[in-house]
Structure 1
């Protein structure tokens, strides 16, 4: 009988995870709540809260290495692959996405220090 109860508890916890994901809520947090407190309470609270306006925070990274930063995505950075007049690799401003001279200390677009 205890095994049956544990299986039902786990099934309801998986159901809470599915509902939390559909409502743009933190799946891990809601699984934790439902597993250690009660899946029925978690489902009730999720129903009351409704759907979140934005998805949980996820960091987006456009590039994974400095080499891809200059050469990887030509659509996003069309002039990043070109060497500048003074030679060398150009400096790239992370704030305003402007390609600058290799000897520049600040961005020509926004003035941010490179």
Structure 2
């Protein structure tokens, strides 16, 4: 494990957002969804590609709070530009489980 300095961590903008739209990413090489995540007034709605199809259905994702990195450069993934990285953990089967706040917090709140 590589140790980092506190200032390195502070550079990563981890923010809370609410999924407002989730659709199947038909052109993805691996099964994925296109998520539209609302980060509030300051950051607005951003798109992300997420390989979370094993454990989640699009309709159950709507309204879910997630934690995402919002200050990576945009990344072209097939026909879409991913504007944030929704975070998660691999479970014992290798499927992605979303990293979510367990209580309601304002959209756009930064992890400290």
TM category, shorter:
under 0.3
Please give the TM-score of this superposition, normalised by the length of structure 2: 0.22
Q: Relative contact order: is structure 1 or structure 2 higher (C-alpha 8 Å, sep ≥ 6)?
A: 2
Higher strand share: 2
Higher helix share: 1
